[in-house]
Amino acid sequence: MSLWQKTEAMMWMSRFPALTVMVFLRQDLGYRILDPLPLAGVSVFMFFAAGIAGRESYPGYLLAYIVIMLMAATRQRMKRWGQIRRGVKMHSFYIGTSVLDKSWLPNFCRNDRRLERIADPLAAILVGIALFPLTHALGLWLMFSGFCLRTLEYAVFRKELHQKLDMVDGLVMAEVQAETVEVFAPPPVTNSGGPSSGSVPTGLAADIRDRIKAKNAPGVPPRL
């Protein structure tokens, strides 16, 4: 694997630890982002991490956090399923809106997902730092999860940015191609009224009209 491929793989793997704090920091996570299988996998990893940590790290707090996290994730998933059944349109892989997103905040904070990209990871890291003296295991996990959340948000933001740039590039290329077609297109054919103008003739020719008149003249017997 190249360095870029390894970076992409790390960004993709960061969503699993990030999910353990997203269930608290995001109010409308997508239905499929809350898949029980990844949640169960990361919970098993956290359980083994708590077992490896020494007693001085107070791993019991981390174990309690696992239970609370799974309950919060299950509650959000059930809520999303109810919204889907009611016909609410929502992307099933949506990574959520921050609980810190309030209508009274200035637009600078709410635009471009600045709260989700900066405030949420910073909040998780600060809470981890605050809990570190009490429980090293939970504090370190929250700091690690906050860093993973920042990595995930960066990857999603960059992907969406490139998609928008690709759309703009496509529009520009379409305009250039249209201008090229106009330059090299043949001139339009004008209708001069003659038989070679390409128009479809209507009515009867002169010789056919004379024969019909002669046929319908009085005293001329009809031909079979």
- Quickly count: other Cβ atoms within 10 Å of residue 204's Cβ: 11
The count of structural domains within the chain is 1
The whole-number pLDDT of residue 224 equals: 42
In angstroms, the CA 193 to CA 107 distance is 65
Please check whether residue 43 lies inside any domain of the structure.
yes
Structural domain boundaries, residue 132: 7-99+107-155
pLDDT digit string (tens) for the chain, length 224 residues: 666 677 777 777 888 999 999 999 999 999 999 999 999 999 999 999 888 887 888 889 999 999 999 999 999 999 999 999 999 988 898 999 999 998 898 988 888 889 999 999 999 999 999 999 999 999 999 999 999 999 999 988 888 888 899 999 999 998 888 888 777 777 766 655 555 555 555 555 566 666 666 665 555 554 54
Please check whether residue 173 lies inside any domain of the structure.
no
Please check whether residue 71 lies inside any domain of the structure.
yes
Please check whether residue 114 lies inside any domain of the structure.
yes
Phi and psi for 26 in degrees, rounded to 5?
A: -120, 140
Which residues are within 8 A (CB) of 119 and not within 5 positions of it... i.e. 6 or more apart? 98, 100, 109
pTM (2 d.p.) = 0.75
Please check whether residue 49 lies inside any domain of the structure.
yes
Please check whether residue 196 lies inside any domain of the structure.
no
Please check whether residue 198 lies inside any domain of the structure.
no
Please check whether residue 54 lies inside any domain of the structure.
yes
